[in-house]
Amino acid sequence: MDLRGTISPDRPLLVLAIAEEAAYLDPDLPVLLTGMGKVNAAAAVAVTLAHSPLPSAVINLGTAGALHPGWAGIHEVGSVLQHDLDTEFIRRLTGQTVGAPLALGDGPTLATGDQFIADDDVRAALAQRAQLVDMEGYAVASTARRFGVPVRLIKQVSDEAGAGAERTWKESVDACARLLAGWVRDQL
């Protein structure tokens, strides 16, 4: 976890997983680097929000894999689910709903899980439920909501979440970071 800048109630907190994705952001903006995965993201956001003034919003920026051919560019997520948590099974087993999908607005569905998707069969299964996949979005959104802070998930497609995705992500992360920084300059 690495918090850069100062959080204040009059501006959003930008949340990203790793420094490579944040490389071109304005250094005066409040930026939280959580580390990869849902546990790191949830813990970093919770600790930060508990020990700082609450920001006007939490904006999770980052890369995402495309689960359908032809998906590219930056997308604001409309809903997010956990692909590695069997919410329906837990509901049948305990009668409790744990980890239900979160509605955020209009836009594609993001599947979050603690797995980098680089397998065509896994990609095909996830494509039945979502358009994009990442490793932190659900955790960031859920934690921000628990603190009553508005949240947005902004994802730049970096790869096609199938065979060769690791190579593609490594080759595209710098360009993705530039595009995400451009989105911040244009939208905030």
Going by pLDDT thresholds of 50, 70 and 90, the confidence category of residue 85 is confident
Query: How much of the chain, in percent, has pLDDT values that exceed 70?
Result: 100
pLDDT at residue 92, as a whole number: 81
**Nearest C-alpha neighbor of 139 from the set 184, 66, 57, 81:** 81
Region 104-112: mean pLDDT is: 97
Q: Which phi-psi region, left, alpha or beta, contains residue 88 (left: φ > 0; alpha: ψ -120 to 50)?
A: alpha
Dist. CA 66–CA 56, nearest whole Å: 29
Dist. CA 81–CA 100, nearest whole Å: 7
Residue 86 has pLDDT above 80, yes or no: no
Strand partners, 82: 112
Q: Dump pLDDT digits (tens) for 148-160.
A: 999 999 999 998 8
The structure tokens listed for 121 are 């069969």
Residue 97 has pLDDT above 80, yes or no: no
Residue 87 has pLDDT above 80, yes or no: no
Q: Which amino acid is at 145?
A: R
pTM: 0.94
Region 98-122: mean pLDDT is: 93
Looking at every residue in the chain, the average pLDDT score rounds to: 94
**Domains of the chain, first to last:** 2-176 (3.40.50.1580)
pLDDT at residue 26, as a whole number: 96
Dist. CA 40–CA 58, nearest whole Å: 16
Q: Dump pLDDT digits (tens) for 42-55.
A: 999 999 999 999 99
pLDDT-wise least confident of 47-56, 76-85, 161-170, 171-180: 161-170
Residue 24 has pLDDT above 90, yes or no: yes
pLDDT at residue 169, as a whole number: 84
pLDDT at residue 182, as a whole number: 98
Secondary structure string (H, E, C) spanning the chain: CEEECCCCCCCCEEEECCHHHHCCCCCCCCEEECCCCHHHHHHHHHHHHHCCCCCCCEEEEEEEEECCCCCCCEEECCEEEECCCCHHHHHHHHCCCCCCCEECCCCCEEEECCCCCCCHHHHHHHHCCCCEEECCHHHHHHHHHHCCCCEEEEEEEEECCCCCHHHHHHHHHHHHHHHHHHHHHHHC
Q: CB–CB of 47/38 below 8 Å?
A: no
Q: Which amino acid is at 186?
A: D
First to last CA, the chain: 24
pLDDT at residue 80, as a whole number: 98
